[in-house]
Structure 1
């Protein structure tokens, strides 16, 4: 198994993480990691912070001559904006006349964090819960992807809805999806893209924000990953990981939401045997590649439903916790829409969970042992 611990505040010195348990001998492609970090920062409707930060990964331990060596890997991403926040975020200084955050934003952690941790300033809570933390999470997920690529597993993220504008997605044609993502919202439907940008502009002009649906397709996962034991179910683990991403309020595997309103005969993925590939396949993939908590060999499809970002320029009704008087919520520099960025983050979250499930099943202290075990299992499947 692998694990990681991350740390850092939104306007602190840096974000960092330590990953433990990766096989030795894995080639680390820094450009691949940095490209995903850049993709997380892009997108129509992003805020001013993205113009300040140019995220690049720095690897401090666990990699030598471009390969993992079996020891914990330490990652760091510097916060360029820290130079403007040193007095506010100083680890050791006398608290003097710093302006406190006392008017909580509805929908954010401000008030509940203030109550839970008994802080005088809500900045102590919002700094850690900020979506800025997702930068280091993307870096961790990118390394997990590099490991999974070695055994034929690939990831594609995109946006299928912004507000009430929904894209027309053909899930049976993954090539069409992944070949049409070169745009500001990572949306494969060009007609929907135009309308999405319009409603983001409208929200921006009105001091508001928008959410949407971010999706990830995972190609190449073998049948048999996960378990029907409740805490090892692959879909349950994916759902937990995705729900832990900032602003995600619902998760669907395949057509999970739509399936609740249909007859069974309209939902289940009927089975056939492909003699050419010697594998069992499904005529459809409405269940998103997972049955009974176990992967079935079809593409894994995950949909994450993102609420509008709680920070709005026009403010929402709130209370000043010091005076108990009615006030509008505090405005913190933020995005109008970050659904495209969220798709990159949930991709990383899913990659971590799938790699963990692979390592639990196949093991391997080094990448060659891991690959051999997976390939042997693929040959075994052809005999069933």
Structure 2
């Protein structure tokens, strides 16, 4: 990757940390480019008490000076306010067994059991603290930085929810609905459906259950030719799918109308090609979702992901204790009823990372100005192709 990053930190540790390398110098960047994304990730109807405790704010610890990136590695920090309640539990110093709040009954659908087997932990808190979706807060912050770079290159995006808890929006997506989506407590396009979805979330909470749904991220203004067809690991759809599948609880990804297209003849799937002097090369349909043969084709990119219901249930499923091996109910941790609205924000942010990396891969440049100049020249060339 040209835009590389590593993150560290536990759900109830003192902070989340990341180092991002590869950003060009001269990118305008302030905390206000990142904090609204963190706030959106914490929002959405159905979120749990943890979101009331945390008020995520980014700290630039390196790589930004005077409101612009310097070209050096960018260091990011998000403090965990809940840490003050967990200092003894999460203390890195040696301690007695069992530790406070030790977790020994794994939750079906979570990383607990397999992670414990893999790393040899009998206190499964050593697994869940890093496997927690709290980790995505930092990746959203990185995605916000990547999105800022994309915006400087003329790219727009939105993340929203087409379906939650089996209830589908009755209003097709339109870019004119961005304000409706941002104001919706469930990030849906259909105000009439919102009440039904909220009622379903309330019913799930009352019964100790959880709900999943579909996420969708859209990007427009992308140049054709990001990614490549020449090697498997350079194909952009594969890179996007890997990033999307890394979101906790995502179990399926498609580009465009991928699953629907599988049951149709090719004449009803492929997007015919047109050219005119005003628009240049374009399509009048976009069933491919803006990607063909591992490359963007200049049309709108559409990425959809399926998020399963959260694994922590207030009426837990059967499990067994990893110490005694006796049957027991799965552990209960503070959790959400649904995180689907928040996950749509996460998807948009994480796909932004892949796209920003693809721009840097194709065009390079040590400064934002160089990058913009190269993109502009390329846009003119492909228009006249």
**Same fold flag (TM > 0.5):** yes
* Whole-Å separation in 2 of the counterparts to 1:274 and 1:232: 31
Q: Which runs of no fewer than 5 residues in structure 2 stay unpaired?
A: none
* Whole-Å separation in 2 of the counterparts to 1:114 and 1:336: 25
Query: For 1:265, what is the secondary structure of its paired residue?
Result: helix
Q: Deviations over 1:289-329 (max 9, x none)?
A: 00111101111001110000000000011011111111110
Q: Which runs of no fewer than 5 residues in structure 1 stay unpaired?
A: none
Where does residue 241 of structure 1 map in the other structure? 243
Where does residue 164 of structure 1 map in the other structure? 166
Query: For 1:251, what is the secondary structure of its paired residue?
Result: strand
* Whole-Å separation in 2 of the counterparts to 1:272 and 1:29: 41
Q: Which of residues 231, 240, 259 is equivalent to 1:257?
A: 259
* Whole-Å separation in 2 of the counterparts to 1:180 and 1:21: 32
Where does residue 73 of structure 1 map in the other structure? 74
* Whole-Å separation in 2 of the counterparts to 1:6 and 1:49: 21
* Whole-Å separation in 2 of the counterparts to 1:71 and 1:4: 13
Where does residue 267 of structure 1 map in the other structure? 269
Are 2:122 and 2:322, in contact at CA under 8 Å, matched by a contact in 1? no
Q: Deviations over 1:25-66 (max 9, x none)?
A: 000032121001000000100000000000000000000001
Are 2:41 and 2:342, in contact at CA under 8 Å, matched by a contact in 1? yes
* Whole-Å separation in 1 of the counterparts to 2:159 and 2:101: 39
* Whole-Å separation in 2 of the counterparts to 1:51 and 1:176: 28
Are 1:24 and 1:69, in contact at CA under 8 Å, matched by a contact in 2? yes
Where does residue 121 of structure 1 map in the other structure? 123
Superposed displacement of residue 179, structure 1: 4.5
Superposed displacement of residue 120, structure 1: 2.2
Where does residue 25 of structure 2 map in the other structure? 24
Where does residue 55 of structure 1 map in the other structure? 56
1:182 aligned to 2:183? yes
Where does residue 14 of structure 1 map in the other structure? 15
Larger displacement relative to structure 2 (293-302 or 88-97): 88-97
Are 2:255 and 2:303, in contact at CA under 8 Å, matched by a contact in 1? yes
Query: For 1:337, what is the secondary structure of its paired residue?
Result: coil
Are 1:158 and 1:187, in contact at CA under 8 Å, matched by a contact in 2? yes
Are 2:281 and 2:383, in contact at CA under 8 Å, matched by a contact in 1? no
Q: How does 1:278-317 map to 2 (within 5 A)?
A: 279-317=280-318
Are 1:212 and 1:305, in contact at CA under 8 Å, matched by a contact in 2? yes
Are 2:28 and 2:68, in contact at CA under 8 Å, matched by a contact in 1? yes
* Whole-Å separation in 2 of the counterparts to 1:130 and 1:321: 20
Query: For 2:183, what is the secondary structure of its paired residue?
Result: coil
Are 1:169 and 1:177, in contact at CA under 8 Å, matched by a contact in 2? no
Are 1:226 and 1:232, in contact at CA under 8 Å, matched by a contact in 2? yes
Q: Deviations over 1:219-240 (max 9, x none)?
A: 1111111111211111111000
Are 2:10 and 2:129, in contact at CA under 8 Å, matched by a contact in 1? yes
Count of residues in correspondence between the two structures: 382
Q: Deviations over 1:90-144 (max 9, x none)?
A: 1114235524211000000000011000012100000001000111000000000
Are 1:288 and 1:298, in contact at CA under 8 Å, matched by a contact in 2? yes
* Whole-Å separation in 2 of the counterparts to 1:382 and 1:296: 12
1:340 aligned to 2:348? no
Where does residue 364 of structure 1 map in the other structure? 365
Q: Deviations over 1:133-158 (max 9, x none)?
A: 11100000000011111110111010
Query: For 1:215, what is the secondary structure of its paired residue?
Result: strand
* Whole-Å separation in 2 of the counterparts to 1:341 and 1:44: 9
Q: Deviations over 1:202-223 (max 9, x none)?
A: 1101000001001100111111
* Whole-Å separation in 2 of the counterparts to 1:56 and 1:263: 49
* Whole-Å separation in 2 of the counterparts to 1:330 and 1:164: 26
Query: For 1:181, what is the secondary structure of its paired residue?
Result: helix
Are 1:156 and 1:178, in contact at CA under 8 Å, matched by a contact in 2? no
Are 2:161 and 2:344, in contact at CA under 8 Å, matched by a contact in 1? yes
Q: Compared with structure 1, are the counterparts of its residues 10 and 30 closer, same or farther at alpha carbon in structure 2 (3 Å cutoff)?
A: same
